[in-house]
Each structure stands twice: as C-alpha cells, then as structure tokens.
Structure 1
C-alpha cells in the first residue's frame, strides 16, 4: 500500500509542475477553517513564503488577534524561516520575519515546489479517505503521517513540508501536517500548543467528533510506535501526558 501511495504522489508531482500560486489558491487550502483569524494567519504566511502580497515591508507577516502560539502551530506548513513577535498588546500582536532572512527568486521557486508537494499529499489523502467516517479519516491521517515522519532530534526542522521532503520534522511539523490534511478531508480539527512538565513547548491536535473534543498526538505516538494518544478524550490526554494546553489568549504568551 505504501509503495502505491508513493508512486501515486510521484506521478501527481510529475504532471503538476511548480506553479504561480495566488491568494485564491491559499483560500482554497484553508476553506474549511471556521476561524477567520486562523485562516488569515495561514494565508498570509503562505503569501509571504511565496513572495506574494508582501507589502512595503517584506518582513511583516501581519497583525493578528490570537496568540503567537496559534500562529506558530497553524502555519508550520512550508515555512523554513524563523519568526519573531513584536508590538504585543492586550488585543493583538504583529509577526515579523527574523532580520537575517534574505529572500530571492530562487527561494520563492523552492517554496512553490514545497507547496506543490503539500498540495499533492492533500489530494492523495482526500482521495484515499473518500467515503470514510470522521473516525476512520482521523485514524488514517494519523497513520499516514506516522508512516512518513520521524522526529528531528537535531531540533532544526519544524515544518510539515520538511517532514514530507526529508522524513524528519518536529512536533509543530507533525501537528501542522495533521491539521492541514484533516482540514481538507472535512474534519473539524485544530492545532493546540501546550507546556510540558519540564517547561518545554509541545503541540498536538484536537479533533471534534460527535461533539466531543479528542486529542491526537502523532508526534508521541510515532516516537513510541503505538496509538496511545489517538482520539482520546482531551481531559484524559492532559492527565496522562502532563501537557498543560495554552489558552487562546495573549495572556498566555511568555
């Protein structure tokens, strides 16, 4: 089955050359996201990564009214550059690219190829999950990612696309991949960040099925080669994992 999927993805990429993306393309990718603020975060990040609609200051991502944790987990798709937070107030914040970033034509074209790869995976998973229940879709996507990703112990790769390209990424990459694949397959899914017992940052997903919030932590399941954190009640996940979820508020930002 895995060989068939890989062959299908390669075939799709062969007939789908790198293209000039537009905002409308990004809106399609995020069309199932009900939170307009999160949708705008994702669209603006993709615009910036591909050199589209950057404005007068190419380092400015945008002004948002949710926490920077939300921004990081919702947009870890093709981005390979680090961001910084500036201008935080009680109601909003501004995201900027780090000062050492240099963007050029070659960089933009490489990001287009990255997005081609992501779109190809979205198409494959949407096809493979047609007719499945939400529970079956959630499980399939969990396994699809776990079969392809390994945790990057060097701590330098954190995007979903790097997981698909190299096989290695960090928790934000696992979380972003699950979020974007699930979103495009019709799941009610979101990314969630939290603090571990030793004070570190960790991200995982929450899928709402039949009105119940269920946690999915592909990162830890992949590391343990099991499904301990696969669609378990959110409060149960918090209890056994020791993760303290961040609130959807600027007050949670350290």
Structure 2
C-alpha cells in the first residue's frame, strides 16, 4: 500500500514514515523540503500519483488567525489533488476537544480543517490526540520570567509522540472510520502540576506559580481537553517518559 505522509519530515511524520516502511508499506514523506507545497499545490499531483492513503500531519507556521487560511487552503488543495489521484482514504491528525475551544484561533482553524475533510469527496478518518509530552518545554517557555513559570491549572491528558504515531499508523492502515478516534495519555494533570513535575525531574530550580490568566491554555475552561470514555488510552506515563528522556 502506498501512503503519502504530508508533513512527513516532522516530529510525528518522520516516525510515521519509518513505522509504515518497517511494516512493508511504501511510505512517501511530503513536505516543502521534498518539493511539495500545500499552499500553492506545487508537487501535490506528482507525489499523490498511485497513492492509496494520504496522512495529513502538516501544521500551520503560526498559531494565530493566519492559521485559518493555512488549514483552509491546504485542506482544499489536498482534497482536490487526492480526488484527481484516486486516493481512497484521507487521514488527518487533530486535537482532542478542538471544537470546544472557539476562543483559540488555532483550535478554530483545526476544527475548520476537520469540517472540510468531512465535507470532502474521499472516505476519511480523524485521529484526535491530546497534547504531546514533547511540547512541555515550549509551554514552560511561553510564561517563564526569570525564576518563575506561570501556568494555569487547566486539566490536560498528555501523551507521548511515539504513542500518537502508533495511533496514526493503526488508523491509516485500516478502513476509513468516517468519523473520529480520540487517543490520550493514561493520566490527567493540571497544567501547573505538570510543570512542577517537569521542573523537579530536571532539577530545574524555577518555581511554578498558578496563574489562570497565563499562556495559551488559560483560555480553556473545564475538562474539554480531557478525552472521553470512548478514547483509546496510550500506555506511556509521563514520569516514565521523563526518566527515559533523561
């Protein structure tokens, strides 16, 4: 089976390509560096020739309102090129709770991407994952000021990138879902507590101050980023992942 991985050189994409290839599939990475431009459409027809499945892992270069145009244009171009190529399955990686946080531009943009996929001409699957363990450094950096990191108590259910890869590969090599599969880590943490665990494990002397106005996740209320009872729970615990990462 030929699977084209859009964003196939990134954190998740490169691992998806490797795992598919190891299983005997023809896995083709597609990105700007390989000559494929989702916004102009350059290279799409060529890379999708003979493809059975398209896995869309492309990400917007920004998290602001411009991400709406990115996901609108890229999704429409990819659906049109996929239809021309006779692609039988379009897969998108999205975010748990993405349609419940309209106050965040990036989440609205990802919800738009999902809707375009649903309305498109090709059988589809949406894999919604929770926040990645690997992004904690970025989250800590957003609101770090000297010896203090300010974080809200927003509840998250994060997961390892490797477990996201497994979920994407499983769905992409199966029959189209015609819907959503939610996947999440095994544990729920308030973000401020997750920050404290992270700094302590790294012997980082900074102090986490709970501030429900700090950072992007301050806009999230309730448990909308927590996976529901139907979610597939990944096996990797955050503390175990941190020990291996060290």
Same fold (TM over 0.5): no
Larger radius of gyration: 2
Q: Structure 2 length normalisation: TM-score?
A: 0.31
Structure number with the higher helix fraction is: 1
